[in-house]
């Protein structure tokens, strides 16, 4: 949480009008142009001091109920034609800095989500032990796959989590370790 928050949870410049919060959510979905995880939107808008957590949650629910955004079974929301019109007509009512911040963060979160969808990490419990199998993909192309034996299920879940948090870093370290030539 930001150190700039005042005791009541608000930050100077934060959107306090629920209508403005709805507009920024519609603007985000219109500009990104693809479905986004509803919970990620709530976290992102709150974490970036754009609006309060409860206002964002309420705004999302009201937008779904009003038919301005639609929600699928997986919790992803998309803008509807009505929501698109709202964003087109009212986006200029929002501060440019707020619009820029929300788009920058939205693109970052959506890119992470896309990458995470292509990567896989699974725990396999076999009679020979507990294994973690990790796959790093670039679209449909396999970049790296490895399977490793771990001590227990707790360690397996940790390896899985660490890989999924930053598979590119794991790849970089893997390649670095394999290519690092040491004089022996």
What is the separation, in whole angstroms, between the first and last Cα of the chain? 49
What is the separation of C-alpha 172 from the centre of its chain, rounded to a whole number of angstroms?
22
Low-confidence ranges of the chain (pLDDT < 50): 1-8
pLDDT value at residue 3? 41
- Please tell me the predicted confidence (pLDDT) of residue 88: 86
Enumerate residues 6+ apart whose C-beta is below 8 A from 94: 15, 20, 23, 24, 27
Residue spans per domain, the chain? 18-115, 119-179
**Model pTM score:** 0.58
Residue count of the chain, please give it.
Answer: 184
Residue 79: the pLDDT is 94
Q: What CATH number matches the domain at 18-115, 1.10.10.10, 2.60.40.1260, 3.30.830.10, 3.30.70.20? A: 1.10.10.10
Query: Which contacts of 104-111 are long-range, i.e. CB under 8 A and separated by 24 or more positions?
Result: 105/44, 105/48, 106/28, 106/31, 106/32, 106/36, 106/41, 106/44, 107/32, 109/36, 109/37, 109/40, 109/44, 110/32, 110/34, 110/36
Those residues with Cβ within 8 angstroms of residue 154's Cβ, 6 or more apart along the chain or in another chain: none
Structure tokens at 111: 């890119």
Backbone angles phi, psi at 132, to 5 degrees: -120, 125
The rounded radius of gyration (Å) of the Cα atoms in the chain is: 21
85-118 pLDDT tens trace: 988 888 777 777 778 888 888 787 777 666 666 7
- Looking at the DSSP bridge assignments, the partners of residue 101 are none
> Can you tell me the distance from the alpha carbon of 154 to that of 160, in angstroms, rounded to the nearest whole number?
10
């Amino acid at each position: 949480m930001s150190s700039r928050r005042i005791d009541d949870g608000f930050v100077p410049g934060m959107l306090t009008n629920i209508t403005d919060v709805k507009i920024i959510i519609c603007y985000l979905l219109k500009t990104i142009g693809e479905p986004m995880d509803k919970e990620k939107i709530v976290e992102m808008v709150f974490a970036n001091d754009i609006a309060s957590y409860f206002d964002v949650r309420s705004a999302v629910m009201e937008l779904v109920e009003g038919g301005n955004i639609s929600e699928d079974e997986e919790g992803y929301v998309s803008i509807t034609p009505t929501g698109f019109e709202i964003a087109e007509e009212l986006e200029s009512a929002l501060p440019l800095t707020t619009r820029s911040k929300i788009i920058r963060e939205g693109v970052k979160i959506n890119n992470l989500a896309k990458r995470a969808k292509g990567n896989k990490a699974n725990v396999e419990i076999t009679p020979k032990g507990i294994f973690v199998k990790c796959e790093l993909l670039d679209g449909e192309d396999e970049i790296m796959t490895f399977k490793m034996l771990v001590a227990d299920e707790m360690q397996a879940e940790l390896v899985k989590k660490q890989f999924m948090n930053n598979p590119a870093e794991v790849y970089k370290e893997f390649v670095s370790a394999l290519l690092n030539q040491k004089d022996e």
